[in-house]
């Protein structure tokens, strides 16, 4: 394609003011840039319909485009052409002193950061994006990744990884007009972090560190499963801890209320949310770096530096531990830090863990988790049974009776007691369920599934076949709704579905997320498993084409032949890859991949560098390759 140079050299212009051939050149620049980045682009009709409302800054070789929003913000909507022309366009746009924000590629982000634009840390970005309507992104779904990038899932051009940027005027407006409206909706960490970021004091965090370690962190704990209400005991004795736990014995909470409001947490943990205060954050190991920067400061936030502060002189025993080095290197490569936290717990359970007061990480199901190994370090304050709409202080000794939703002396039948419990989301015990008539069992089951998406195996088996089929259909409808919302159902819910419902859910989930849990996959028939594998493989190849990758749990479900094809394409493109997948590459493919990374200006991790031959390492370094050393 040849682009004719007929554009008038002009820094600011509108699409409608240009002649037809000039408009074609503007589109061709756009098309060329987006095909190089995403592999595809809008057609000319779609571009014209959008571009008529844009302002352009640049010249005949390249430009940036913005759309003025009703809020007065200037949203970046396009970047195309020669980088020098694009740079010139940004200079002219900034000279207007208007609030500008947008989602851009990594190379554009690096360029504009030097011009005064900012990218919020991941933890704060998740909060900020809640203030922006989904329609602003064209109604597309998106994920915030651990490295601060955002994956936008376009239906027409596929997935695109972008970085959020904003100039000083934009963040000043956020501080003045939006932050005050969020005051009561944010955790202490989020509120303090945003305030310091907006005040340009994010690197020097001594003030916020002092506030947090002196008891400024608010956390949330969900409970009340199986009709149990622990409020009375917690009010008088504080939290109790059990004898078994995935990350150690302790009080399991989340440092954001949002993490307690998912269908997963409501189904698994109960209807009561208890708000508490962490008395001290001293000696907490924090795997979420956006949070550790707030607690430990901008110079001591990595795992090794946190441990140096926590362990003191004992740090010398662990500083050269290869297992620890590998964990640190993997934090930047995983979406959920729970994976790294679990490995750390298993490997250092008898050595480092006993010296910690708690850990902080983010999980795929439980969200932003804070585990306190010291139960007395978490002080209950108040509770809610309506997911935060109303709160009651933990001071009344009659709390237990009130939480049950009925007065013992006023209940007339066991079924009325069941319905009262159901209205506040408490599941009844199996013994209570058995006291109901068959008709009442069916009514309860349907109501409970409608609210929570599933029911226990014991209760399900007490239903007659017709009732079971009704429950299955209700669970299936709930499951499909969850997928459309970006969520999922548990194994216990999945196994109650019919084989036909299971494969329909599985295919829809894979289409949206690219994979499915291993335990659900194993419940499928061999024929259904092959259908799912093919869908995952198609998703994987699309991800590679767009510069992405798939996680190991997705990769392991592929056939050996599909894995080989995926790895071969990955080596050619040099896209992101997990360490497990990198190990499976042939030696030649490893070298091909690292050289492609060097060509694209990306670093490789030290554990990947170690798998190269001495000759390959030398060639890699001689060609400008760089390595993350920890």
Whether 401 has a pLDDT exceeding 60, the answer reads no
- Output phi, psi for 92, to 5 deg: -70, -40
Over residues 87-102, mean pLDDT: 87
Assess whether 300 and 386 both reside in one domain: yes
C-alpha distances out from residue 594 to 297, 564, 587, 598, Å = 33, 18, 11, 6
Whether 142 has a pLDDT exceeding 70, the answer reads yes
149-154 vs 141-144, strand pairing mode: antiparallel
The mean-pLDDT minimum among 131-140, 168-177, 232-241 falls in 232-241
CA dihedral 72, 76, 78, 80 (to 10 degrees): 120
403-417 pLDDT, tens digit per residue, is 333 333 333 344 444
Assess whether 164 and 37 both reside in one domain: yes
What is the percent of the chain with per-residue pLDDT over 90, rounded to a whole number?
9
Over residues 438-450, mean pLDDT: 86
**Across 14-28, 330-344, 447-461, 498-512, which has the greatest mean pLDDT?**
498-512
pLDDT of residue 8: 35
pLDDT of residue 7: 37
529-538 pLDDT, tens digit per residue, is 999 999 999 9
The mean-pLDDT minimum among 185-189, 225-229, 342-346, 425-429 falls in 225-229
In terms of pLDDT, which residue wins out, 146 or 624? Answer: 624
Whether 216 has a pLDDT exceeding 80, the answer reads no
pLDDT of residue 92: 86
Whether 50 has a pLDDT exceeding 60, the answer reads yes
The mean-pLDDT minimum among 240-254, 367-381, 468-482, 540-554 falls in 240-254
Which two structure tokens, joined as six digits, stand for 567? 């790895």
pLDDT of residue 238: 58
Mean residue pLDDT of the chain comes to: 78
Is the pTM for the entire model greater than 0.75?
no
Q: What is the CATH number of the domain that holds 50?
A: 3.40.630
In terms of pLDDT, which residue wins out, 490 or 406? Answer: 490
- The whole-angstrom separation of Cα 630 and Cα 628 is 7
Over residues 499-523, mean pLDDT: 88
Residue 523 lies in a domain: no
Residue 346 lies in a domain: yes
CA dihedral 335, 336, 342, 345 (to 10 degrees): 90
Residue 167 lies in a domain: yes
**Across 232-241, 366-375, 396-405, which has the greatest mean pLDDT?**
366-375
Domain count, the chain: 4
- Output phi, psi for 251, to 5 deg: -90, 120
Residue 413 lies in a domain: no
pLDDT of residue 333: 66
Enclosing H/E stretch for 403: helix 399-403
pLDDT band at 503 (very low <50, low <70, confident <90, very high): very high
The answer to whether residues 489 and 505 touch, using CB atoms and an 8 Å cutoff, is yes
* Boundary (domain end) residue, out of 497, 519, 549: 497
* Residues found in the chain: 630
- The whole-angstrom separation of Cα 59 and Cα 87 is 11
In terms of pLDDT, which residue wins out, 76 or 364? Answer: 76
Whether 35 has a pLDDT exceeding 80, the answer reads no
pLDDT of residue 499: 92
Residue 453 lies in a domain: yes
Whether 351 has a pLDDT exceeding 50, the answer reads yes
CB neighbours of 511 closer than 8 A, spacing ≥ 6? 535, 539
* Boundary (domain end) residue, out of 149, 182, 215: 182
Assess whether 120 and 62 both reside in one domain: yes
pLDDT band at 424 (very low <50, low <70, confident <90, very high): very low
Residue 192 lies in a domain: no
Assess whether 72 and 114 both reside in one domain: yes
Assess whether 144 and 239 both reside in one domain: no
Assess whether 342 and 232 both reside in one domain: yes
Assess whether 176 and 209 both reside in one domain: no
Over residues 14-24, mean pLDDT: 83
Residue 108 lies in a domain: yes
Burial class (CB in 10 A: 0-12, 13-18, 19+), 420: middle
What are the residue ranges of helices labelled H in 404-517? 414-423, 430-434, 438-452, 457-461, 465-484, 491-494, 499-513
Residue 417 lies in a domain: no
Whether 359 has a pLDDT exceeding 90, the answer reads yes
In terms of pLDDT, which residue wins out, 486 or 68? Answer: 68
Whether 9 has a pLDDT exceeding 80, the answer reads no
Over residues 110-137, mean pLDDT: 72
In terms of pLDDT, which residue wins out, 419 or 68? Answer: 68
Whether 315 has a pLDDT exceeding 80, the answer reads yes
Assess whether 124 and 269 both reside in one domain: no
CB neighbours of 247 closer than 8 A, spacing ≥ 6? 341, 342, 345, 359, 361, 369, 371
The answer to whether residues 27 and 21 touch, using CB atoms and an 8 Å cutoff, is no
- The whole-angstrom separation of Cα 85 and Cα 60 is 8
In terms of pLDDT, which residue wins out, 491 or 407? Answer: 491
578-607 pLDDT, tens digit per residue, is 888 888 888 998 898 889 888 888 888 888
Which two structure tokens, joined as six digits, stand for 206? 């001594």
Assess whether 270 and 373 both reside in one domain: yes
Whether 193 has a pLDDT exceeding 70, the answer reads no
Whether 450 has a pLDDT exceeding 90, the answer reads no
pLDDT of residue 498: 92
Whether 129 has a pLDDT exceeding 80, the answer reads no
Assess whether 171 and 91 both reside in one domain: yes
CB neighbours of 283 closer than 8 A, spacing ≥ 6? 310, 355, 356, 357, 358
Rg (CA), the chain: 27
DSSP assignments along 343-378, one per residue: HHHHHSTTTTGGG-SEEEEEETTTEEEEEES-GGGE
Assess whether 319 and 174 both reside in one domain: no
The mean-pLDDT minimum among 78-87, 227-236, 238-247, 412-421 falls in 412-421
Assess whether 256 and 388 both reside in one domain: yes
In terms of pLDDT, which residue wins out, 171 or 133? Answer: 171
pLDDT of residue 154: 67
Whether 64 has a pLDDT exceeding 80, the answer reads yes
Give residue 427's domain range: 423-497
The mean-pLDDT minimum among 102-111, 172-181, 523-532 falls in 172-181
* Boundary (domain end) residue, out of 474, 497, 520: 497
């Amino acid at each position: 394609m040849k682009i004719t140079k007929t554009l008038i050299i002009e820094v600011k212009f509108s699409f409608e003011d240009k002649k037809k051939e000039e408009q074609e050149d503007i589109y061709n620049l756009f098309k060329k840039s987006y095909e190089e980045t995403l592999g595809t682009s809008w057609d000319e009709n779609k571009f014209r319909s959008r571009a008529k409302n844009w302002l352009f800054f640049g010249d005949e070789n390249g430009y940036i485009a913005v759309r003025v929003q009703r809020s007065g913000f200037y949203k970046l909507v396009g970047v195309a052409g020669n980088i020098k022309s694009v740079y010139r366009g940004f200079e002219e746009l900034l000279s207007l002193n208007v609030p500008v924000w947008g989602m851009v590629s990594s190379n554009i982000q690096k360029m504009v950061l030097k011009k005064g634009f900012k990218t919020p840390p991941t933890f704060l970005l998740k909060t900020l994006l809640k203030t922006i309507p989904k329609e602003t992104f064209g109604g597309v779904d998106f994920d915030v990744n651990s490295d601060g990038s955002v994956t936008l899932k376009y239906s027409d051009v596929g997935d695109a990884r972008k970085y959020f940027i904003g100039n000083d005027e934009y963040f000043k407006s956020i501080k003045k007009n939006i932050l005050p409206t969020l005051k009561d909706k944010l955790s202490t960490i989020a509120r303090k972090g945003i305030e310091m970021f907006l005040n340009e004091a994010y690197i020097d965090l001594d003030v916020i560190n002092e506030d947090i370690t002196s008891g400024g962190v608010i956390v949330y704990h969900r409970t009340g499963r199986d009709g149990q209400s622990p409020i009375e005991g917690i009010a008088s004795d504080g939290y109790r801890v059990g004898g078994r736990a995935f990350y150690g014995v302790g009080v399991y909470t989340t440092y954001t209320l949002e993490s307690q409001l998912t269908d997963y947490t409501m189904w698994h943990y109960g209807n009561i949310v208890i708000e508490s205060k962490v008395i001290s954050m001293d000696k907490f190991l924090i795997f979420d770096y956006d949070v550790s920067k707030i607690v430990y400061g901008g110079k001591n936030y990595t795992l090794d530096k946190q441990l140096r502060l926590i362990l003191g002189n004992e740090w010398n025993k662990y500083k050269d531990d290869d297992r620890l080095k590998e964990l640190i290197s993997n934090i930047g490569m995983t979406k959920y830090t729970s994976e790294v936290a679990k490995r750390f717990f298993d490997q250092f359970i008898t050595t480092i863990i006993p010296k910690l007061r708690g850990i902080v990480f983010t999980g795929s199901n439980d969200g932003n988790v804070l585990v306190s190994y010291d139960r007395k370090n978490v002080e209950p304050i108040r509770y809610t049974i309506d997911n935060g709409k109303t709160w009651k202080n933990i001071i009344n000794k009659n709390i237990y009776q009130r939480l049950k939703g009925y007065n013992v002396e006023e209940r007339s039948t066991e079924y009325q007691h069941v319905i009262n419990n159901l209205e506040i989301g408490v599941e009844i015990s199996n013994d209570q369920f058995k006291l109901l008539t068959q008709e009442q069992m069916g009514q309860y089951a349907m109501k409970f599934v409608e609210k929570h998406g599933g029911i226990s195996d014991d209760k399900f088996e007490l239903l007659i076949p017709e009732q079971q089929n009704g429950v299955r259909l209700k669970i299936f409808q709930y499951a499909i709704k969850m997928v459309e919302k970006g969520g999922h159902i548990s194994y216990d819910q999945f196994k109650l579905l019919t084989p036909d419902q299971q494969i329909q859910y599985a295919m829809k989930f894979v289409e949206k997320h690219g994979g499915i849990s291993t335990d659900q996959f194993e419940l499928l028939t061999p024929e259904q498993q092959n259908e799912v594998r093919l869908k995952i493989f198609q998703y994987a190849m699309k991800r590679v084409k767009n510069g992405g990758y798939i996680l190991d749990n997705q990769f392991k479900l592929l056939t050996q032949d599909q894995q080989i094809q995926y790895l071969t394409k990955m080596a050619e493109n040099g896209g992101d890859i997990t360490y497990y997948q990198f190990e499976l590459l042939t030696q030649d493919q490893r070298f091909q991949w690292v050289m492609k990374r060097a060509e694209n200006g990306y670093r490789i991790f030290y554990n990947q560098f170690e798998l190269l031959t001495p000759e390959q390492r030398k060639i890699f370094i001689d060609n400008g390759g760089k390595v993350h050393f920890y």
